[in-house]
Structure 1
């Protein structure tokens, strides 16, 4: 699933192509991929409107249109938004085609979990899943004190807490594993056992690993691509994620792999206390 660095990379690459363009037509190949608002069809709300800006909130893309309409796009497991400068025949898993006055944007999704919702911009937060998201980990307002407060009522393993989007927006399996490794904290540790010093290290590690992911344009294993169809390169920098059974790059000990909060979790039992 695309996490904060991947969605931010999609935002940047897509905005570079489509900001200021008009959506002339919407072709719904699989109509269930989209939803309108209060009986108004998705294509009616969208067609004819200019794309003003593209923002991000956690793992969601917010495509701001004229006349106070926002498209909230969630890629889920395998969703993609690709820009093409010329008309292109939809591929097998393309569900929506946005035809612009210059080029097209195709929304595709192999597993059909991704969705795009059209909603009045003033209701963008209160009328959607955005209202329940935690703070943005790369914003200046996200401090060690904020992290401590968000975790304060939890009595579960720290990895499980970090995956909760109500605690922190945008962090997923890849970057949670990597941040915990950088901070030297076992994913199995209960949140309420972390010291002030460990919370400060975790806060710093979260910010560092997410920024490194953005700088590398995300992590591509199978499905993720940016709006240009390009892969990210952060896979080359991964210390633990996806490396269960391999030697730790720091100490050489075999990396442990367990199932935690329904997700595969990899860590070094020597480096992460």
Structure 2
């Protein structure tokens, strides 16, 4: 599932591609991916320009000049691509938004969605989300205080969107590895120093992953050399059996809080 770094990478790259460009048409190939009838969806978007692209947690928010917001959540397996018809990937497209000769393709929206919402609806949608990891108000001290109240495991805490917004399976494992902590550890068992380490690792891993374009499979547009650059830099995620980059021990995979998790038993504790 695309997480904070992947969606932030999309946000940054899309800004130079679609902001202030006029939408010339839409095509909906799967009605369940949107929240309006396809004809109304097309009438509402056609002729409008996207004035701003924001991100909240794992959502992208396309602010339309009408004041409505086009909300994208890719969920599991979703991707987006931008280009001409000749650049269209060999994938099933659920929704397509055209900007003249260029199209923005929304792919893999079997579980994800692209909804048009009013600002007040957006407030309700995000009401239960926790703070963003890079929110200046989420200081090390605030992070420790919030984490100390958590039950369950580090894994379940880091992926809980009401605790922190934007982290999922991949980066929860990468953060725990960077902090030399097992994802199965209980927050209550952590010392203050370990909590600080986890906080610093969270910021470091997410910043690095974003700067390398996240781990997405396909480039956003032809010639995009950034998107997906972090995939080869993952230290533990999806690396079962490979040698640990720190100590050489084979990495293991197990279920932690009912989620797959990858880690090193030798140098994480």
TM beyond 0.5: yes
Which sections of structure 1, spanning at least 5 residues, go unmatched? none
Aligned residue pairs total 266
Segment drifting more, 41-50 vs 151-160: 41-50
- Matching residue of 1:17: 17
- Identify the match of residue 184 of structure 1 among 176, 180, 185: 180
- 2:234 maps to which residue? 238
CA offsets, 1:10-33, max 9 Å, x none? 111112100001112221111111
Using the size of structure 1 for normalisation, the TM-score is: 0.89
Distance in 2 between residues matched to 1:97 and 1:237, nearest whole Å: 32
Q: 4+ residue runs of structure 1 moved beyond 3 angstroms?
A: 85-92
Structure 1 residues 182-221: aligned runs within 5 Å: 182-220=178-216
SS at match of 1:161: helix
Structure 1 residue 87 displacement after superposition: 7.3
Distance 2:95 2:74 in 1: 13
Correspondent of 2:117 among 116, 119, 125: 119
| 1:105 positional shift | 1.1
Mark the runs of 5 or more structure 2 residues left unpaired by the alignment: none
Match of 1:175 in 2: 171
* TM-score with structure 2 setting the length: 0.91
Q: Confirm whether residue 152 of structure 1 aligns to residue 144 of structure 2.
A: no
CA RMSD of aligned residues (A): 2.2
Per the TM alignment, residue 92 of structure 1 is displaced from its structure 2 partner at its CA by: 4.9
Counterparts in 2 of 1:81-92, with a 5 A limit?
A: 81-85=80-84, 92=91
> Which range moves more in the overlay, 172-181 or 137-146?
137-146
8 Å Cα contact 2:48/2:66 also seen in 1: yes
> Relative to structure 2, which stretch is displaced further, 235-244 or 14-23?
235-244
Q: What's 1:141 paired with?
A: 137
2:148 and 2:245 map into 1 onto residues whose CA distance is 32
State the Cα distance separating 1:186 from its structure 2 match: 1.1
